[in-house]
A and B are shown apart, each in its own frame.
Chain A
Amino acid sequence: MFQTLLQQSPTGQTYALFFLEAITTTILVSLLAIVFATFIAFFISSLRHAGFRLAGAFVEIFRNIPLIVQVFFCYYVLPTLFTPLLKLSNDNQIYFLGLVALTLYSSSRIASQLLSTLNSIPKGQLEACKTLKLTMSQAYRFVMLPVAFRNALPTLANEWAAVIKNSSVISTIGLFELVKSSQVFIEYTSEAFLAFGIVCAVYLAIIAALSIGVEALGRKIKIRGNL
């Protein structure tokens, strides 16, 4: 059964490399989405916590629309609105617009989690910052967000795992990532068991690695006390 992996696909490469390429795409898209989404989420949740209702509206909009609708919106609707935006090849456009959709959706989810974490930090911290004459951005950057990040780390780990799982939705516009590659593999060789086995094993491995990494990070930045 595993010998199929060493056979050649109709496009000329061995199936092992075929899957490897798909795995690389999945990991890359997920990683970029996680990094960008977390940054955006920290920014937006601070804005919302400081009182800007517009940031709250942003979070509500992108959180309540299903990811697949957002992906289709970014891929089919945005290019018609911004025609001369970027003249990328079709593959790159799928990658870029899919990444944009995934980032926006994930950032809204992470932002809503961070908002509840920020709300759980005692109000005295922010008032102490005001007393020390820190600007709002300094207060959030040096006091609130580090504490929020430390407290929210388990929830963030869940959200980052969700980003990795949600990257599979981008396959609906044609991105050649892990789930799509398994479908193509089944079309070529009809070895469904092997295909799904590989996909499940890879997702389990990636998410296990993520959990271990985040746990190690949590231990490293942990400080004693309840803050």
Chain B
Amino acid sequence: MNALLSSLPQLAQGFSVTALLFVCAFVLGLMGGVLILIGRTFGPKWLKCVLWLYTTFFRSVPLVMVLLFYYLALPNFFDKNVVAIIAFGFFEAAYFGEILRAGMNTLQKGQREAGETLGLSKLQTFRYVLLPQVFKASKISIINQAIILFQDTSLVYVIGAADFFTIANRQGQQTGELTAHILFAGSFYLIVSILATRLLIKTTTRKPI
């Protein structure tokens, strides 16, 4: 127990790295997902094919492998956190692209045509008419994927980045109380994920009139 208290400063630093990874990966992934959505909706046929290949590829390989690949491919001067963020960005863009595409399919077909009738260009239709509705439709799936992403940030252990779990593990092995540290890390992820899911349920269910 004492060892756990004494490693709190390092754990706090680890948590800051985890938070950084999560936020950057989420933003990059979501932006990439929107780009993929634009490409798949309005792009020429070859672009649609390429994006389909990209999405299928990154959804079929493990995240561990993607992390290791980017770690080996990018030159040495890249900070490990940056490597992780880039890898997560590419990986999550595929998932968010698929989520947004599924959300887009639930929209009425007339929306896009109505936008064009009003004289909006394709990009304007997308930005002012389609995209807000896509986000509203896929809000739950996006937040679910965000919670999964938060848990997946622990996988940067395989490239040695100093995220919360890696530091908990390191501290546990250094102080000899590995059990306490692993249990603490597990409870931490558990509590944060459960709170986030509860928050999601509260903000998405309609209040009875």
Contact = CB atoms under 8 A, between A and B. Distances in A.
Interface residues of A, number: 34
* Secondary structure dominating the interface of A: helix
B165 interface: yes
A68 interface: yes
* Secondary structure dominating the interface of B: helix
Given A66-B154, A68-B155, A165-B61, A76 B165 contact: no
Interface in A159-177: 161, 165-169, 171-172
Contact of A69 (B57, B73, B182, B197): B182
Interface string A173-192: 00000010011001000001
Q: Which range contains the number of B residues in contact with the other chain?
A: 20 to 34
Contact of A61 (B65, B179, B190): B190
Given A77-B183, A179-B68, A196-B69, A69 B62 contact: no
Given A64-B189, A72-B182, A200 B57 contact: yes
Given A66-B152, A68-B155, A77-B183, A199 B165 contact: no
A120 interface: no
A179 B155 contact: no
Nearest to A73: B182
B189 A65 contact: yes
Interface in A64-117: 64-70, 72-73, 76-77, 80
The 10 tightest CB contacts between A and B, nearest first, are: A64-B193, A168-B62, A66-B151, A165-B62, A66-B154, A168-B64, A207-B60, A69-B186, A77-B179, A65-B186
Given A64-B197, A65-B186, A72-B169, 12 more contacts: A60-B194, A64-B147, A65-B151, A66-B155, A68-B165, A69-B165, A72-B182, A77-B179, A167-B62, A186-B72, A203-B65, A204-B57
Interface of A: 60-61, 64-70, 72-73, 76-77, 80, 161, 165-169, 171-172, 179, 182-183, 186, 192, 196, 199-200, 203-204, 207-208
